[in-house]
Structure 1
């Protein structure tokens, strides 16, 4: 099947990208398998640590555990099929599989975007009133915010999926990407995609700029609060508290803006694929490291977990 009359007649698509050269497929498969194992171990390990240690049962770590869960899911929506394609050389994905992959990837990536903004508000409350943080950021506040992130993410994904797959496709069934994402799917359409591009731009811009506005506002208040601190140690602790989140925000939003907030005429398939690899595979692997390496509470919780395991093994 080399062409499609419309989306309803499509039975399969062919995914390209990453490596068409046979000699690169095996090394890339090994690399991505290794990264996926680190991603799953790191994110699920952090979730388990948060669940098992009662000292980490706080609203901020509740937000973090959701971030780790979302990273696992949206990375897993993309990487297994990509690794299987590198391993077997089978580039075909069913039409239904492509719809599902796009839906779940967009949904959880959107949730990730909003969770980072929600966490910025939590950081602000922590730095501004450290002694009253537990009474300010309570579960009655945190849980509805997280639920709202999921509701918006899935609603946005449903809109994108509906608008994308109601188009007519007649150029080809070859997707010049390593997974089903919106820009490369739109490139296959022979319909007028102006409305789709506007919907993509408006929703992505709302996600990104609303979230960034919340983050920048929160960190401006944080900066003012830090500058008012008289203790040098207090300032260092505040900066340390925020540095991991700022690192994650910079990496994630930088690649998302590059990928989705540029005109279709400016898209380069090779460049887009490199950006996509970064935020679908690399960022989910880095987040557990970013949030744990300089976090004394996590380090102490990990040490307590090791000590408990040693006690269990010795009895």
Structure 2
């Protein structure tokens, strides 16, 4: 009885906590590394917060394009807040422990906001397609009720897609002892590889989630821009073509900034097992930190109405 009971207990072992590694090989200078990370997190929260305030306070920005931009800003803030506490705790205080359940919660929200951002970028491409291909019916197609339904569909899609992930991890057995994660946050692919059990189901479902969300979204975005280019090429004058394409530049840059790191993370986790650990870590940080920082910069530089509204919000804040 005792050996069999011992075997059962070991086979069902779940660690009370994981140990996060931070930046592998650079632990001695975590304090210095925290400076650019803190700056990027501050820039993300400030820039996206300004976009949300600008759209809310400026009646002329109460249009579908800017509502979708607000959704993008919200997902960027959510993605940042999902990783910021544990990352800064590791870099500032060398606090590297995270509870098992807390890790699963962080993992869920991290992937939730990633999937939601992919969906928002797809919705923004649909917005640009309608605005260019059928401008006279733009307001009639993208009404406030339609935008609300799109926003609810984005949230529901992310929840339904990712809800099974924590439970698929909780069914796994982990080896007793300290379990070291490769990042300063909980990433599904990283956590499942630490299990001492068959993770085939987790791998298949993780791949299904990526393909059915970001994979499908990227294909539909490419399709939408193919149709947009077809419409633009049919316009009479080069000036009209240039003006139509200029309305898409910000969105195209946001798509590239998001999907290129996503592809990099997916490829490295599946085919880069022999790469140094720091490569995995840096690519993951680029994926999670860089897009939320760059998106407000892209839209403030390329969109004059957004830039002016953000400056107006800053002036009002100074006067207060």
| TM-score (normalised: structure 1) | 0.91
Alpha-carbon spacing, 1:160–1:154, altered in 2? closer, same or farther (3 Å): same
**2:301 is the alignment partner of 1:293:** yes
**2:245 is the alignment partner of 1:239:** yes
Shift of 1:20: 4.5
Q: Which moved further from structure 2: 165-174 or 10-19?
A: 165-174
Shift of 1:79: 1.8
Alpha-carbon spacing, 1:30–1:263, altered in 2? closer, same or farther (3 Å): closer
Q: Hey, what does 1:96 align to over in structure 2?
A: 101
Residue 60 of structure 1 contacts residue 119 of structure 1 at CA under 8 Å; is this kept in 2? Answer: yes
**2:43 is the alignment partner of 1:38:** yes
| Aligned alpha-carbon RMSD (Å) | 2.2
DSSP-derived class of the 2:247 partner: helix
Q: Which whole-Å CA distance do the structure 2 matches of 1:252 and 1:304 have between them?
A: 28
Q: Which whole-Å CA distance do the structure 1 matches of 2:317 and 2:95 have between them?
A: 43
Instruction: Choose the corresponding residue for 1:14, options 3, 14, 19.
Output: 19
Q: Which whole-Å CA distance do the structure 2 matches of 1:50 and 1:232 have between them?
A: 31
Shift of 1:250: 1.5
Q: Which whole-Å CA distance do the structure 2 matches of 1:78 and 1:245 have between them?
A: 25
Residue 51 of structure 2 contacts residue 310 of structure 2 at CA under 8 Å; is this kept in 1? Answer: no
**2:138 is the alignment partner of 1:133:** yes
**CA offsets per residue over residues 177-226 of structure 1, 9 Å max, x none?**
22100111111111111111111111101112210121111101110111
Count of aligned pairs between the two proteins? 309
Q: Hey, what does 1:195 align to over in structure 2?
A: 201
Structure 1 residues without counterparts, runs of 5 or longer: none
Q: Which moved further from structure 2: 16-25 or 235-244?
A: 16-25
**CA offsets per residue over residues 108-154 of structure 1, 9 Å max, x none?**
11111111111100010111123432122112222111111111112
- The within-5 A match list for 1:1-80 is 5=10, 9-80=14-85
**CA offsets per residue over residues 37-92 of structure 1, 9 Å max, x none?**
10000001100100000111112211110110111011111022111111111211
- The within-5 A match list for 1:211-222 is 211-222=217-228
Residue 35 of structure 1 contacts residue 281 of structure 1 at CA under 8 Å; is this kept in 2? Answer: yes
Residue 13 of structure 2 contacts residue 174 of structure 2 at CA under 8 Å; is this kept in 1? Answer: no
Alpha-carbon spacing, 1:258–1:302, altered in 2? closer, same or farther (3 Å): closer
Q: Hey, what does 1:253 align to over in structure 2?
A: 259
DSSP-derived class of the 1:78 partner: helix
Q: Which whole-Å CA distance do the structure 2 matches of 1:25 and 1:262 have between them?
A: 24
Residue 14 of structure 2 contacts residue 174 of structure 2 at CA under 8 Å; is this kept in 1? Answer: no
Alpha-carbon spacing, 1:146–1:159, altered in 2? closer, same or farther (3 Å): same
Q: Which moved further from structure 2: 68-77 or 295-304?
A: 295-304
Instruction: Choose the corresponding residue for 1:208, options 214, 218, 222.
Output: 214
Q: Which moved further from structure 2: 245-254 or 5-14?
A: 5-14
Shift of 1:8: 5.8
Q: Hey, what does 1:277 align to over in structure 2?
A: 285
**2:127 is the alignment partner of 1:122:** yes
